[in-house]
Structure 1
Amino acid sequence: MLAQLPLVYLLLMAAFATFALCFVVDRWMKARKLTLGVLVGSLGCCLGMIAVGAVQPAHWNSRQMLVMYSFVWIGLAAGLIPPRKLFLEYGDEWRRGIKRDTYAYPARYRVIMYVSVGVMCFLAFVLAT
């Protein structure tokens, strides 16, 4: 369904999803190097998803993989919204030079992240086929 849109719209969707994730990371961690790393990693993941989709037996074309990428990245950004106070606290400590041995990430936040990404993966699968 969505994979039948013109390629320009799919690229805009992917760019928006990448921007949304980078914005969330930059806003809460306030570390430009981390944001740049997320941007480069996102572009690598997008190209990797397109390459993996091309070599699968049930060949997924680049349009379908762009839909998948966009939805998964929006799900990832949405899953980062609930623990934002925790990330703000950890980012502030990191900038002040305070290092912890371990950083706690409560299970409820992991469940929210898994559900958010899982639902968006399912929606992307349905809308890309």
Structure 2
Amino acid sequence: MTGPGSTGPGASSPPAILEVACKGLCPRCGQPRLFAGWIRFADRCTACGLDFTQFNVGDGPAAFLTLILGTIVTAAAITLELTVHPPLWLHMLIWIPVTLAGVIWSLRIAKAALMSAEYRNAAREGRIDPGP
């Protein structure tokens, strides 16, 4: 197995972070094998064997993205209410699916980008050196 930045026969450059995030690509080989569900990572890439469980993306993006998306949806809903005055059921018909789709889409992109950055930078958990 080769790591990030390897230069050997048959080694190709890994895909860009934005490409991994938007297309759900493996950060090593570039095959679309990153996700096993809508926002759940696969255990490993079936093309190159990269173990995705070694990366710790965590749930950090969830709260941050939900707050941003909530602000955008709330502003759009208030604007729609003040300009068109639709009934409540129409608000629910519009904003519930928009919010759900926005959260899933943004989490996929954020989690994939963080995993790609972690792979590219060979980031690992901090360890304390016990010293001599």
More relative contact order, 1 or 2 (CA 8 Å, 6+ apart): 1
Q: Which has the larger radius of gyration?
A: 2
Shorter-chain TM-score range: 0.3 to 0.5
Question: TM-score, length-normalised on structure 1?
Answer: 0.36
Structure 1 or 2: more helix by fraction: 1
**TM-score, with normalisation over the residues of structure 2?**
0.36
